[in-house]
Structure 1
């Protein structure tokens, strides 16, 4: 008979890992989180919680401070198309604020931590061993370039087109009740209000990003103190599967399309719930189908929009199309918001 240190070892203490911990504790599993970094963890992120993801967090007892936003707006230099959420607001939340709130809630729920990096994983029919911990199950929530994924032999390739993201904060008064997406020939800039006098600006592109691509936005940010840049990519990671024995992948480690539609954190929280359900039911293979179900709308809409907007003439048509077809624009936004 194997002796276990915990029911569930979670590798990665970001939002995906902490959401997994909260779901697991709610269902009575003992949890250890392996994360080498201390304190709130920052990374390149659009920092917008869609209404559905915000509701999931609230159900877990997490209610981070931030700025409400009521929809998504697409802008170019002359036009604007906007769509309001039907089911209540989302919330712009600094990544560090979100992480601190989730970590505090996980500690309230008696989650344990070990400060270590996991590079090797061993498993048998009964359990998993990593970082000196013997667990019944392991969830890898350690990001785009997951070491857990590599350790258990799950294949991944960087998809095309290869796009990268860079985020900065600007100290200026938040001016919009929407997340604004500025389109140019070379990329998109996402502006999310996160505090009354602070906005996050994330630029997605295939090359070195430049705020000068967006003159309308540059004028809006003029004079604002800018914070340090944080980058990530390539964004699209095509993962062959999300389950290997008693190891399951959650969040960016499980595969990623693009940040274009902005619901990465919301999806990670929903994936976490699906993974824990599969673990509690003793049916890890069911998580694969659940992951596809949870991410279907995101994958189809995001991939379609990325491919459709790759040719420059098509990019120029995105905002005009949103204005000409407002019902379709609202429909797409609200599918992703749910």
Structure 2
């Protein structure tokens, strides 16, 4: 009924929808929630139903937990106290300090956001935004007319591509792979294992009996082969029980209980985040790398800033707001990515963090 009502309003010309959101992932739902909290009518266009899974590290920084709570979103998960770097010989730990982060299954986060959006009266329409037309007064997409269109349609954003906002990127291509293992978490820190050959493994407790292991790498090979590059982590995971959905190729070895999901290439360079009455948020707005684990937290904060700009009828301010909110992430992630790409410098990251604990803690708390 809600879906039909949205189409009827648009078709009958009974006024513009305030904000039409292309994409019902965390960035899109956060935008819709902030719009609803601001008294605006929001409609989300999303082809998938139910909680949507995605390859991601699933660790929320303290700032992201606070931003979600301010929206009335409280996903269940495991508290995270900080970041722990390891390379087999060296290690460095830094606590967030002022507040905990949270390890949250992507599907749990999505369900919590969807519930909150529904509570606030956000309409969800099943479909895809394929073609967009805009004029001085509004935007038409997916058969609906709105004052603004927010493209939250992911790394490979069709909306961004159709607007010609993609920039070429000649840097190394990085990919992410993620699966879960059925065992009790052994730490309340996010562990980052550095292999020294162009890859990292991120271990995130997400439930009392479940840990997620995400691999970031520029090398294309099966997940078991990536995991083998981290012998200490592999030993920790040994004996993790298999369950429904065990990934093919892992039988008889350390076995995940969810299918391996992948994403990438991760880096996305974008010319601008505003094109007339169309604005980009989340991964669609540009992406450096998942190395520092800020994707969801940054998307939620940018969604709030975006809606604030629309309320003031100053969409042009969003570009500056996005750059300000993402500056620390872009600078620190870019520097770490540069180091991670070269084996000689990648091997120095953890020893340097161990030798300079105050600096490492400062960096972690800046990101948090």
Normalising to structure 1: TM-score of the pair? 0.98
1:231 aligns with 2:262: yes
1:260 aligns with 2:291: yes
Q: CA deviation at 1:159?
A: 5.0
- Residue 37 of structure 1 corresponds to which residue in structure 2? 48
Q: CA deviation at 1:153?
A: 2.6
- Residue 214 of structure 1 corresponds to which residue in structure 2? 230
Whole-angstrom CA distance in 1 between matches of 2:91 and 2:108:
30
Q: CA deviation at 1:66?
A: 0.1
Find the residue that maps to 1:309 and give its secondary structure. Answer: helix
Whole-angstrom CA distance in 1 between matches of 2:332 and 2:170:
16
Whole-angstrom CA distance in 2 between matches of 1:14 and 1:285:
24
Whole-angstrom CA distance in 2 between matches of 1:129 and 1:294:
29
CA RMSD of aligned residues (A): 1.0
Find the residue that maps to 1:258 and give its secondary structure. Answer: coil
1:135 aligns with 2:135: no
Structure 2 regions of 5+ residues with no counterpart? Answer: 1-12, 243-255
1:196 aligns with 2:208: yes
What per-residue deviation string (whole Å, max 9, x for no partner) do you get for residues 235-279 of structure 1? 100011000000000000000000000010000001101110111
Q: CA deviation at 1:298?
A: 0.1
Contact kept in structure 2, 1:159 and 1:237, CA below 8 Å = no
What per-residue deviation string (whole Å, max 9, x for no partner) do you get for residues 150-201 of structure 1? 2223223345121000000111111101000000023000000000110010
Q: CA deviation at 1:39?
A: 0.2
- Residue 68 of structure 2 corresponds to which residue in structure 1? 57
What per-residue deviation string (whole Å, max 9, x for no partner) do you get for residues 85-133 of structure 1? 1221000000000000000000000000100011110000100000000
Whole-angstrom CA distance in 2 between matches of 1:54 and 1:159:
34
Contact kept in structure 2, 1:159 and 1:236, CA below 8 Å = no
- Runs of 4 or more above 6 Å deviation: none
1:278 aligns with 2:294: no
Larger deviation: 117-126 or 307-316? 307-316
1:162 aligns with 2:173: yes
Structure 1 regions of 5+ residues with no counterpart? Answer: none
Find the residue that maps to 1:213 and give its secondary structure. Answer: coil
1:115 aligns with 2:121: no
Contact kept in structure 1, 2:339 and 2:349, CA below 8 Å = no
Contact kept in structure 1, 2:56 and 2:178, CA below 8 Å = yes
Whole-angstrom CA distance in 2 between matches of 1:263 and 1:236:
14
Contact kept in structure 2, 1:163 and 1:234, CA below 8 Å = yes
Distance 1:160 1:3, change over 3 A: farther
Contact kept in structure 2, 1:46 and 1:202, CA below 8 Å = yes
Structure 1 or 2, whichever has the larger Rg, is: 2
Paired residues, what number? 336
